[in-house]
Chain A
């Protein structure tokens, strides 16, 4: 076994041990803990970047290291690092729990890293549960009013039911193919995927990831958890966790690539319902995080458009969009976290006059929101363009049409945010002070959103290379 292949996971495992040690101390040292966490996760990004082009198998072929998995590991490491950069004021998490907050963020990242590399059903299940359980604990960690435990309990129960569904589906797949290795399942499932047991097994299996991505029948948790969890935890759930879910959906839907009509038809319906429902309900939201939750449900539908093409083009687009979604969603959460410094839930009217209170933040906000809405020349536009063209090339005309209509509907509530920030007078709300690192972060986010939107070639080529390994 080559230890270097397992490098990023080992690094994050050691990091979790460090945080575990920190959480055992009797006297907490918030500032020092934060600096340690920031330095370690920053180094983690470098570690995953260095292992980007590694290839190989581990653990009796149950664990595959390829470009696809390494790209997503890098994205996860980046997501964790970004979330920690906005964790400098964990106002809603008690001081004595800070070390545990870092610990559970790290363990959920390890779980997701294992998840994107695993190519065996039992490994996938255990890795998924590792990443979910840590998040179940993080959500009710918020102090204050009672909404945190309520959000926590909803997240836990919907998550547990969906993982039960997934396990039941896995048992059927195991039953008809007699194996748990994805590489062996694909040829055997080919003839069986259009039989009732095959399609039910595959759809039930996918439901575990539909939950993570908040696709339609498993979306109920999203608004409550987004609002009820601390802002930083929500930022992690909305960025890194989604990227991992997209990765696994890509790996698992590749199982159904031999199927004809019925499998894609089912995904088609889910995509349309998710998009439409998310966008329509988002219109009436007043709470900014709740609005983003419904926007994430809508985005789950867009991801499914790329996934259900079951072709290299669509998968490439989905990978690109997953990375873009991480960046643009994080930019918006960066703004939320800085405007709501005391960790409260931000209502839309509280954004009033942001362009005067903090021009830099309002620029990041408008770029992030326009990217989410898909306005050129942001990464969001490029991603949507790739997704829609890939679906169009496969002849999904109605799907693309409904997707485009949805994109227009979503503009309404995205522009409502921009309106609140730019065209409403501040009415005495105080200016927002930014520290120097946060200023740099703002500029970096803006540069990435525009830069990779105008010049997406490098990322797209990388994604195209990665897709070759899974289809």
Chain B
């Protein structure tokens, strides 16, 4: 049996992507890099949905529809995130979070 015709392959792939994304959000200090990491987390969820849909689901369309919705919502999220990042850059002249630390306590 081929390795890419098994559910577990895709679940491990998604888990790895999720872990990389989570690591990226926590470790990177650049706002754009953090945004990309969040997209990785969403992609991991999408791969999960597609894999479950392909191998297990009785109805073939549900997982695909969910994935399409996630793509659209993620695009909206990226738009809002980028616009706020631009606002951060205009005010602080940097997109590095280490410099954005006025709120404390």
The interface of chain A, by Cβ under 8 A from chain B, is 121-122, 125-126, 129, 133, 136-137, 140, 145-147, 149-154, 156-157, 160-161, 164-165, 167-168, 170-172, 174-175, 178-180, 223-224, 227-228, 284-287, 290
Contact = CB atoms under 8 A, between A and B. Distances in A.
A146 B88 CA distance: 8
B103 A223 contact: yes
Given A152-B84, A156-B81, A164-B38, A146 B45 contact: no
B73 interface: yes
A126 B103 contact: no
Nearest to B97: A153
Nearest to A139: B84
A27 to B, nearest CB: 25
Nearest to B47: A171
Nearest 10 CB-CB pairings of A with B: A171-B48, A164-B41, A175-B52, A167-B45, A224-B103, A168-B45, A150-B100, A149-B88, A160-B38, A146-B91
Given A171-B45, A180-B62, A223-B103, A146 B92 contact: yes
Contacts of B31: 153, 157
A227 B103 contact: yes
B42 A167 contact: yes
A126 B69 contact: yes
A3 to B, nearest CB: 25
Contacts of A290: 105
Contact of A146 (B14, B102, B105): B102
Contact of A153 (B42, B57, B59, B100): B100
Contacts of A136: 80, 84
B13 interface: no
Interface string B6-33: 0000000010001001100100000100
B73 A125 contact: yes
A154 B58 CA distance: 40
Given A149-B88, A167-B70, A284-B105, 7 more contacts: A136-B84, A146-B91, A153-B31, A153-B84, A157-B38, A161-B41, A174-B66
A171 B42 CA distance: 11
Nearest to B76: A133
A160 B81 contact: yes
A125 B48 contact: no
B56 interface: yes
Nearest to A158: B25
Interface of A (DSSP majority class)? helix
A42 B7 CA distance: 53
Contacts of B85: 153
Contacts of B51: 175
6 contacts: A129-B76, A146-B91, A164-B38, A164-B42, A165-B41, A227-B103
A133 B72 CA distance: 13
A129 B66 contact: no
Contact of A122 (B66, B80, B101): B66
B81 A149 contact: no
Contact of B38 (A137, A161, A171): A161
Interface in B65-88: 65-66, 69-70, 73, 76-77, 80-81, 84-85, 87-88
A152 B101 CA distance: 12
Nearest to A160: B38
A125 B45 CA distance: 13
A257 to B, nearest CB: 24
Contacts of B97: 153
Contact of A126 (B38, B52, B73): B73
Contacts of B66: 121-122, 174, 180
A168 B52 contact: no
B16 to A, nearest CB: 12
A178 B21 contact: no
Interface in B37-54: 38, 41-42, 44-45, 48-49, 51-52
Contacts of B91: 146, 149
